[in-house]
Amino acid sequence: MDHHAHVLVAGNIGAGKSTLVAALARMRGWTPVYEPAEANPYLDDFYREMSRWAFHSQVFFLVHRARLHQQAAQLPGIVVQDRSLYEDAEIFAYTLYRQGHLSERDYRTYRALYEMFRDLLPPPDLVVYLQASVETLQRRIARRGRAYEHRISRSYLAALNQRYEAWMQGFTAAPVLVLPADHMDFVAQPEWIPHIAAAVERLLQAAARPQRYRFTVQGPWQPGAPVLLPLDGGKASAPGPGPSVVERQP
């Protein structure tokens, strides 16, 4: 594809977003955009004392994510971005507010800032959502060994997962490709990457409607099964190269 396309890779902590973005960029030559290069100076304090530092940490992430979104929207070719400002507000800030870590006053101030950015920035062309269980998230978080993440509780991950599912069901700004990340280890099985890239390209080329498409396989969950990409929501009628079937979801 020669024209511009902005693809957001969304998912909970430890789902595999950065790994997928890096792999797609290497394989296809797409431009990667990662989480803010400048470390969040509040993050370690936040995981130690959420109620005190939640507002500071979320505003830092939001401002930096908005800047990255703006930059990504102006780059040529296909751009794949690790996490989005939508998630900062609709998942993390919302969950912190519901859990009592953000006051009503702080949350309203934060939402006003987020809604201004959201309305000013162009929407993405596609969202790739890595859907993973809490067990998978905990295993991958432990594997990458970031010290500050050791304080993340199972209940917090579960609350984030619930919010991700609710948000994705109502997201209408762009089409969403759902990847069942429990079955996909992009480090141990890099064979998945070309098939995911092909699915992304087909959805972008087809100018898919803003709805959910689920990446699945015909047969066991391992690379090499037949593939078809029915964008009209129909059933696969013939095999093709690769392991994926993308089925439209209501």
Active site residue 82: yes
Q: How far apart are CA 83 and CA 62, in angstroms?
A: 11
pLDDT on residue 227: 43
Question: How many domains would you assign to the chain?
Answer: 1
The β-bridge partners of 9 are 82, 128
> Based on the number of CB atoms within 10 Å of its own CB, is 182 exposed (0-12), middle (13-18) or buried (19 or more)?
middle
Task: For the chain, give the percent of residues with pLDDT over 90.
Answer: 58
Count the Cβ atoms, other than its own, within 10 Å of residue 159.
18
Q: 10-48: per-residue pLDDT in tens? A: 999 999 999 999 999 999 999 999 976 568 899 889 988
The catalytically annotated residue of 82, 88, 106, 125 is 82
Question: For helices 104-120 and 50-74, what crossing angle results, to 10°?
Answer: 0
pLDDT digits (tens, 9 = 90+) for 183-198: 888 888 888 898 899 8
Q: What is the pLDDT of residue 230?
A: 39
CA dist., res. 68 & res. 204, Å (int): 21
pLDDT given for residue 248 in this prediction: 59
pLDDT one-digit tens code per residue, 160-177: 999 999 999 899 999 999
Q: What is the pLDDT of residue 43?
A: 86
Q: What is the CATH number of the domain that holds 102?
A: 3.40.50.300
Residue 61 pLDDT exceeds 50 = yes
Residue with more model confidence, 228 or 229? 229
Range of the domain at 173: 5-249
Give residue-wise pLDDT tens across range 194-214. 889 988 998 898 776 677 787
Q: What is the mean pLDDT of residues 227-240?
A: 38
